[in-house]
Structure 1
């Protein structure tokens, strides 16, 4: 009959043999702990990216509105040559973000930088 001490000793020897065989098999490959760290880290990064995407999408950014043709700009300003016409012809940039409903919110506007 086997005592509790012998059972624990056999379990420890079995675990040690398993660890050694795994270590020997992966001697030329990545270490087990490094591999597991990469797997867990990759999973965590994917979850983090998915969670942060809505926040990233709502961050303000500059968007360029391209210059339009003379005909389009005259139609928009009802044939009047004014500041709106010039802005339309030159194009502009808007500092925008999107609200929870997906609507564009213009925070600021500026001309297209000439650098």
Structure 2
């Protein structure tokens, strides 16, 4: 009788452990699926985050042509270079939110 009881107890314990591991595996799979879904949702938001881009200084000839032959603010921005804080919209167009000189290190 003790042998049958012990065998039954072991069967119940192993079934409980097996059920627990199945639940654990199911929970892990659900977590991975939800992570994948969240990645798909948050990726476009991360792509739309503004970023600083550096526009390098250009030559005198390029800047004079760009400013229409005048020494004005367009010429100076071109010659000095700048950084722009930009965001790209859904159509891929660049929208400049802010502008600053290139920091000197």
CA RMSD of aligned residues (A): 2.9
Q: How much does 1:42 deviate? A: 2.7
The number of residue pairs the alignment matches comes to: 95
Task: Name the residue aligned to 2:90.
Answer: 100
Partner of 2:3: none
Aligned position for 1:56: 46
**Does 2:42 correspond to 1:41?**
no
Q: 2:78 aligns with which of 88, 91, 95?
A: 88
2:64 to 67, 74, 78: 74
| Deviation by residue 1:68-108 (Cα, 9 ceiling, x = unmatched) | 12221111012222222121111111111122322211111
Instruction: State the distance in 2 between where 1:17 and 1:109 align.
Output: 66
Change in Cα spacing, 1:89 to 1:15, as seen in structure 2 (3 Å) is: farther
| TM-score, reference length from structure 1 | 0.64
In the TM superposition, what is the alpha-carbon distance from 1:41 to its structure 2 partner? 2.7
Aligned-partner SS, 1:102 = coil
Q: What is the TM-score normalised by the length of structure 2?
A: 0.69
Q: Which residue of 2 aligns with 1:110?
A: 100
How far apart, CA to CA, are the structure 1 residues paired with 2:28 and 2:83?
42
